[in-house]
Copies of this chain bind each other. A is one copy, B any other.
Amino acid sequence: MVTRAVMLVGWLCDDEAELMMEEQWKTERQGRKAEEWANLIRVFTCPEDQETRDVLVHLMRQILFELHDFLIQNVGITEAVSLKDIADRCTDTAMNREPEKRLAEVITGVFDEVAPHAVNVASPYFVGHMTAAIPYFMVHLKAIVAALNQNVVKLETSKMLSVLEKQVVAKIHRIIYRNSEDFYLEHVQNTHTSLGSFTEGGTTANLTALWVARNKSLKPAKGFRGVEVDGLAAAYVAHGIERCVILVSRRGHYSLRKCGGLLGIGNGNVIPVDVDHKNRMMPSHLKSLIEACKAEGNTRILAVVAVAGTTETGSIDPLYEISEICRKEGIHLHADAAWGGPTLMSETYGHLLKGIELADSVTIDAHKQFYMPMSCGMIFFKDPTSLDAVAYHANYIIRKGSVDLGIKTISGSREAHCLILDSALKIMGSRGYGLLIDHGIELARRFAREIASRDLFQLVTLPELNILTYRICPNSAQEELKRANPERYNAINAHFNEVNRILQQEQREAGNSFVSRTVLEQETVFPGAPNGKVVVLRSVLMNPLTTMEVLRDILDEQEAIYRAWLNGELTRKGRASSLSSS
């Protein structure tokens, strides 16, 4: 033990350099450093004087009410100031040594330099993505969470917030699975079981579900400690297989491919299941894929992923039929309801998700139709012991037997999102959320009718929920497409693909409104059409301030852009704008 003693003594007393540093530290405290330090301490301390408090409150007032005015100058990503110009302003990478701005100046800077070039996702005219207006109170709730700064990875940095997360998770679990009161009383605060957890977003939620499915399938066997410990290569040997696959709707989110890559099974083994003309997974094709996998003899199906609200078309897979198939085959069924999940709160349309309660796991994004600020997802499991398949422990936290939530999550440190959702549920009630869902679905149906009634437009996918796709394609062209041979068909289609691509960019860059665009398979959305791609405009109707008047404006603008294009009046037609490749 001599080494130790010498080391300690040496380190504590004999280190001249260290002692000098200590002296220097004390001396410097007398001068400038003392002033700097006092300033630092100030920003970490709750101010007692009324004047400082008034300033801080005034700044919050600006954030609440004035930020809005700077943001609403444009909708979507305009070219009023080009992306290149903005990028050119953000090339300084030297870190400032001295403080260069006070909070008030930072806020002014956000108003003047950031907000005008951010995207006004809250505009009723921004109907292109799954990000929209959020209730005003969300800013307060986010501020509360920041002020509390709890970390729900462990009880020691969150206490009640960990308990609250379990309660909120159980509340949402209950609207999905509708188990008995006894079931929820048994599990809501059970430290040995877990009904699910909050995640960073839908991707992490899907990853959690497929991680669990992988581990439950490739479980321990003689001489094999399970895939989580020994890895996939050993798992394949132990289980006598050569390949694992995940079967996913062709309309499934790209995150599912990413999960396949991350989890080591390979995204090439995330196999698309064909969809019907309503963009719903075809159970018949699912069955034949399963049979084909079984026939291979050495392929394991880890999971089937059904979608409740596809990203591109808002379609809902036939959950009941798919669950029946999975049940018979003993395959984990994951339902990606990142978008559609909150439909369960609608008293009118909740039935559209019938069968979701049969899924082994369900993803729901809270920053989508729970209208929470970016970014918050959730994952739920039918079986409260499922998450045991991915449990981790450490010596200083998440110890065995503890209630630390971090034992069974991909993330470590995590924000206490549960407090926001819990509060929002209290303020809105399921009725409030349900009405928002109803508005979106009903508005989408009326919008579809409006599109179909206009000569220049073609409705491409019907809105099962509140998402639809359409394109500029005059009735005359639609008629011609019906009679065209495949070669001619593809030529006409290619023409309108280009037109719609330009149209979407022009509208986006004009900054009055925003719809997105995507690419679907011709043969899927137009029965009988030859193989090929169709560029479509995509509307996501989740903003309660969006009305038919707004949507008619958007269509009017699109018609005007199209006419200008026809007349060769688009000054920027065909030119590559700085955004054109995005």
Name the segment of A131-139, A318-326, A327-335, A558-566 touching the other chain.
Answer: A131-139
Are A43 and B157 in contact, CB atoms less than 8 angstroms apart? no
Q: Does A411 contact B (CB under 8 A)?
A: yes
Contacts of A254 in B (CB 8 A): 392-394, 398
A48 to B, closest residue via Cβ: B65
A148 to B, closest residue via Cβ: B118
Q: Does A161 contact B (CB under 8 A)?
A: yes
Are B262 and A527 in contact, CB atoms less than 8 angstroms apart? no
Determine how close the nearest CB of chain B comes to the CB of A430; give it in whole angstroms: 5
Name the segment of A264-272, A285-293, A352-360 touching the other chain.
Answer: A264-272
Q: Number of residues in A with C-beta < 8 Å to the partner? A: 216
Q: Does A140 contact B (CB under 8 A)?
A: yes
Q: Does A110 contact B (CB under 8 A)?
A: yes
Complex Cα distance A148/B40, Å?
28
A195 to B, closest residue via Cβ: B93
Q: Does A449 contact B (CB under 8 A)?
A: yes
Complex Cα distance A128/B365, Å?
33
Complex Cα distance A413/B255, Å?
11
Q: Scoring A residues 268 to 287 as 1 if CB is less than 8 Å from chain B, else 0, what string do you get? A: 11000000010000000000
Are B277 and A97 in contact, CB atoms less than 8 angstroms apart? no
Q: Does A414 contact B (CB under 8 A)?
A: yes
Complex Cα distance A117/B579, Å?
49
Complex Cα distance A163/B117, Å?
10
Known interface pairs A83-B155, A148-B67, A516-B396; A229-B118 also in contact (CB < 8 Å): no
Q: Does A14 contact B (CB under 8 A)?
A: no
Name the segment of A2-10, A380-388, A491-499, A567-575 touching the other chain.
Answer: A2-10
Are A122 and B149 in contact, CB atoms less than 8 angstroms apart? yes
Q: Does A364 contact B (CB under 8 A)?
A: no
Complex Cα distance A432/B203, Å?
36
Known interface pairs A8-B459, A426-B96; A229-B60 also in contact (CB < 8 Å): no
Q: Does A506 contact B (CB under 8 A)?
A: no
Contacts of A416 in B (CB 8 A): 374
Determine how close the nearest CB of chain B comes to the CB of A449; give it in whole angstroms: 6
Within 8 A of B (CB), among A48-79: 53, 56-57, 59-61, 63-65, 67-68, 71, 76-77
Contacts of A47 in B (CB 8 A): 65, 136
Q: Does A201 contact B (CB under 8 A)?
A: yes
Complex Cα distance A87/B400, Å?
19
Complex Cα distance A154/B543, Å?
19
Q: Does A379 contact B (CB under 8 A)?
A: no
Q: Does A361 contact B (CB under 8 A)?
A: no
Are B83 and A403 in contact, CB atoms less than 8 angstroms apart? yes
Contacts of A265 in B (CB 8 A): 231-232, 264
Determine how close the nearest CB of chain B comes to the CB of A353; give it in whole angstroms: 15
Q: Does A30 contact B (CB under 8 A)?
A: no
Determine how close the nearest CB of chain B comes to the CB of A34; give it in whole angstroms: 11
Determine how close the nearest CB of chain B comes to the CB of A150; give it in whole angstroms: 6
* Across the A-B interface, the 4 shortest Cβ-Cβ residue pairs: A264-B264, A231-B266, A402-B582, A396-B518
